[in-house]
Amino acid sequence: MSAVEFALPPDEVATAGGLPISLSRIEKSFGTLNVLRNFNLEVPAGQFLAVVGRSGGGKSTLMRLIAGLDTASSGRVTIGGRNVERLNPFVRLLFQEARLVPWQRVIENVGIARGPNWQETARRTLVDVGLEGRENDWPTVLSGGQRQRVALARALVSEPQILLLDEPFGALDALTRIEMHRLLEQIWGDRRFTTVLITHDVAEAVALADRVVVLREGAIALDTDIDLDRPRRELADPLAVDLQRRILEAV
């Protein structure tokens, strides 16, 4: 039994791959501000979805609803057909800041669920994100990209079926960002968790996602599949450039 299974109630034990996400007839307001209006979205199991939009368009609100960190004013959010009522152990989040615990070493930051063999599981996950041999480092000695790798390992260690990413690479330099794209694409390709990536970066959305949704004023302004071969090569394909142009126009 893995550390993860140990931490989950029996009816929530993870199976391989991803779970589908469904939002139907969602209304979400803060006071008089309607952030999402009659909002519907189906994300099939294992899909890599990117949500693009201007600041204030409701992207983070959408993610918080899927994560169970906030509730809709009305409508239904389900994961694997079950209502989302709280943060579930099979959903993991990654933010722009790595949010590591500064007084814990890398391995302790990753092995948050201290079940049996947690160190072994954490070490293996660190290898997966390219941080072999760094388990005893303190977060302060790591670069921004390495800290984000630790945060990614911490998200992956429990083998989530849903990964929610809110501008995870927004603070990284361009080359590190591309390295992280390749890493994430490869890990997602192996594990096939359902992924929702929130980003301002249209090139990033096209480089990573199976499908891009443009969120504008609380509604979907564009919903397009990204039928490009994998592994993706940033900007290399004329089709990618055309898709970026279409998405930018919708934003």
Ligand X SMILES: Nc1ncnc2c1ncn2[C@@H]1O[C@H](COP(=O)(O)OP(=O)(O)OP(=O)(O)O)[C@@H](O)[C@H]1O
User: Min. distance of Cβ 221 from ligand X in angstroms?
Assistant: 13
Interacting residue with ligand X among 41, 46, 48, 59 (CB under 6 A): 59
Instruction: Return the number of the residue (216 or 246) whose C-beta is nearest ligand X.
Output: 216
Main-chain dihedrals φ then ψ at residue 82, nearest 5 degrees: -110, 140
The β-bridge relationship of strands 21-30 and 74-79 is antiparallel
Instruction: Choose among 213, 163, 170: nearest CA to 190.
Output: 163
User: Min. distance of Cβ 39 from ligand X in angstroms?
Assistant: 12
Site string for ligand X, 29-48 (x = CB under 6 A): -x--x-x-------------
Q: Is 245 helix (H, G, I), strand (E, B) or coil?
A: helix
**How far lies 212's CA from each of 89, 92, 161, in Å?**
26, 20, 20
User: Min. distance of Cβ 61 from ligand X in angstroms?
Assistant: 3
Interacting residue with ligand X among 18, 46, 58, 139 (CB under 6 A): 58
Q: End-to-end CA distance of the chain, in Å?
A: 46
Contact flag: residue 60 with ligand X (CB under 6 A) = yes
Report residue 169 as tokens.
């690479």
Instruction: Return the number of the residue (50 or 110) whose C-beta is nearest ligand X.
Output: 50
Other CB atoms within 10 Å distance of the CB of residue 79: 22
User: Considering only residues 82-101, where is the footprint of ligand X by CB under 6 A?
Assistant: none
Amino acid at 11: D
Size of the site for ligand X (CB under 6 A): 11
Contact flag: residue 116 with ligand X (CB under 6 A) = no
Sole window of 58-66, 85-93, 118-126, 189-197 interacting with ligand X (rule: CB under 6 A) = 58-66
Site string for ligand X, 61-80 (x = CB under 6 A): x-------------------
Other CB atoms within 10 Å distance of the CB of residue 177: 20
Instruction: Return the number of the residue (54 or 230) whose C-beta is nearest ligand X.
Output: 54
User: Min. distance of Cβ 95 from ligand X in angstroms?
Assistant: 11
Cβ distance 206 to 247 under 8 Å? yes
Sole window of 28-36, 88-96, 172-180, 223-231 interacting with ligand X (rule: CB under 6 A) = 28-36
Largest CA distance in the chain: 52
Distance CA 227, CA 48 (A): 12
Rg for the chain (alpha carbons), in Å?
A: 18
Instruction: Return the number of the residue (28 or 149) whose C-beta is nearest ligand X.
Output: 28
Binding site for ligand X (CB under 6 A): 30, 33, 35, 53, 55-61
